[in-house]
Amino acid sequence: MDSLITAAARALAAGDPVGALKRISLRDDPPALALRGIAMAQLGEDPRAGSRVIRAALNRKKNAPSMAGY
């Protein structure tokens, strides 16, 4: 995890969703999308937040290494 993701997660844990969004707002990687969804849920944007978390999970699954050779 990089430092911006860690800082955003800490901001969310401290109850600062706006601070978290400032750190990750322009990123499209799965951890950032998940944190953005959580921040938006804390702010009351539930419908959009749910779609962000689902999108992050799908992107993470798509980018996961294949286990076919094991």
- 30 vs 65, higher pLDDT: 30
> What value does the mean pLDDT take over residues 16-35?
91
pLDDT number for residue 42: 84
Residue 5, amino acid? I
pLDDT number for residue 12: 93
Q: Is residue 70 part of a domain?
A: no
Give just the sign of the alpha carbon dihedral 41, 43, 45, 46: positive
Q: Is residue 69 part of a domain?
A: no
Q: Is residue 26 part of a domain?
A: yes
Contact 37, 56 (CB under 8 A): yes
Residues in the chain: 70
- pLDDT tens by residue, 30-56: 999 999 888 888 887 666 656 766 677
- Residue 20: other Cβ atoms inside 10 A: 28
Highest mean pLDDT among 23-27, 46-50, 61-65: 23-27
| Structural domain for 29, as ranges | 3-63
The structure's pTM equals 0.63
Contact 50, 59 (CB under 8 A): no
